[in-house]
Amino acid sequence: MCMTTQHQEALSGLVYSVCTRPGLTVLLGEAGTGKTTLLYSLLGLLEKRRFCTAMCTNPTLTRQEFYDFLMMKFRVDIQSTLKSRQLAALEDLLRRNRADGRPSVLIVDEAQRLSAELLEEVRLLLNMETPREKLLEIIVSGQPELGEILGRPELRQLKQRVSSVCKLKPLTPEELREYIYHRLSRAGLPNQALFPEATLEVINEYTQGLPRLINSLCDGALRIGFALQAPQITPAIMEEAAKDLDLTRFFAPQHLIEDEDPASLVQSFSSHGHNGKNGSTPADPHIPLENYATRQRSPSFLGNLMDRWK
C-alpha cells in the first residue's frame, strides 16, 4: 500500500470513525483510486486489535441473503431464517462483543450498487446502540454516485446518520511519481532510471492518475521493454502499451515521438545510450528511492495513529 497524503488522511479518518463509533462512515472515490485496497489495509489494522469485522464486496443481494451474510460473517449461531430472530441474535452478539472489548464493524464495498431496500436495512442496523454509542460501526464505500444516492429525499434519514465522509481522488503527477517509485522499490529496483520523467508524463496523460490504470499500463510497458531488452521504459514503449490497452491520451503530447516504433528502440539505445532516442533524462530525484523505501517501512503518521489508539 503506497500511503500518499490523501491515503493517509482517508485511513486516519476511517480509523478515527471505528474508534469513536459514531455510526455511518462513507468512503468515496472514482473506480480505480484504491478504495478496496485501503479497506483491506483497515481490516488488517482492525483484526490485529481484535475487532469483530465483516466485509461485503458484492452488495447485489436480497434482504434475506444480506442477513444470511451477516449471520455467517459475524458468526451468529442461529438456525432460524426469520429476520426478527436474526436481528435479536445479532444484537445480543454485538453487545457481548462490546463487553469483551471487541467492537464490531461492517464494511460494504461497491455500495453504490446497494438497492433501496438494503440501504434501509443499513439504516435500521444503526439503531442498535447503547445510551453512549453504536453497537455496530458501518462503513460504506463506493463511487461518487453513492454521494448522489445518499442525497435523494427518500434517503434523508440515512444521510442524517452519516458522521464522516472520506474521499480518494486520482493521483496528482507528484503522487503518481511517488506511487511508481514505491512499486519499484518494493520490487527491489536500486535506482529510478527505469521510468524517466518524460515517460511519467505520458503515464499521467493516459491514466489521469488512476492507480488501477497505472498498474495495467506499466505492466504492459514492462513486458514490451523486456521483449526488447530495453534498459529504460521510454515514451515510445509506453505509447505502444497504451495502444494495446486501447487507452485514450487526455492531454496533448508534450514529447512528440516521430518515426519511432518499439522495434527500432534497441538500436537507438545502443547508439544513444540509456537516455534513448529523445534524449530523455533520468527521473527527477524529487523522492530519493532509498529514503522513500525507509519511510514506507515505518510511516510516522501510522506510528502516531497507533500511539493514540493505545
Name the domain boundary from 140, 169, 198. Answer: 169
pTM assigned to the model: 0.77
Domain closes at, from 149, 169, 189: 169
The answer to whether residue 50 sits within a structural domain is yes
Q: Does residue 256 belong to any structural domain of this protein?
A: yes
In a domain, 97, yes or no: yes
Number of structural domains, the chain?
A: 2
**Are residues 110 and 255 located together in one domain of the fold?**
no
- For residue 302, what is the DSSP state? H
* Judgement on whether residues 85 and 208 belong to the same structural domain of the protein: no
Q: What is the dihedral of CA 221, 227, 228, 234, to 10 degrees?
A: 10
| CA dist., res. 90 & res. 67, Å (int) | 10
User: Which runs of consecutive H residues, i.e. helices, occur in 49-162?
Assistant: 63-73, 83-99, 116-125, 145-150, 156-159
Tell whether 43 is covered by a domain: yes
- Assess whether 185 and 122 both reside in one domain: no
CATH number at residue 17: 3.40.50.300
CA 115 to the chain's CA centroid: 23
User: How far is the C-alpha of 130 from the C-alpha of 91, rounded, in Å?
Assistant: 11
Contact indicator for 95, 129 with CB cutoff of 8 Å: no
Task: Specify whether 163 is located in the same domain as 210.
Answer: no
Tens place of pLDDT per residue across the chain (310 aa): 888 889 999 999 999 988 887 789 999 999 999 999 999 999 999 989 989 999 999 999 999 999 999 999 999 988 888 999 999 999 999 999 999 989 999 999 999 999 999 999 999 999 998 888 889 999 999 999 999 999 999 999 999 999 999 999 999 999 999 999 999 998 888 777 899 999 999 999 999 999 999 999 999 999 999 999 999 999 999 999 999 999 999 865 444 444 445 444 444 433 333 343 344 433 333 333 334 344 444 455 555 555 656 5
Do 78 and 163 have their domain in common?
A: yes
Q: Is 304 inside any structural domain?
A: no
Domain ranges, residue 40? 5-169
Count CA atoms closer than 13 A to 141's CA, side-chain side.
Answer: 28
SS (H, E, C) 32-64: CCCHHHHHHHHHHHHHHCCCEEEEECCCCCCHH
Question: Is residue 229 domain-shared with residue 121, that is, in the same domain?
Answer: no
CA 14 vs CA 8, 25, 89, 283: distances in Å:
10, 7, 27, 34
User: What CATH number should be reported for the domain holding residue 213?
Assistant: 1.10.8.60
Q: Are 10 and 158 in the same domain?
A: yes
Note whether 202 and 102 are same-domain residues. Answer: no
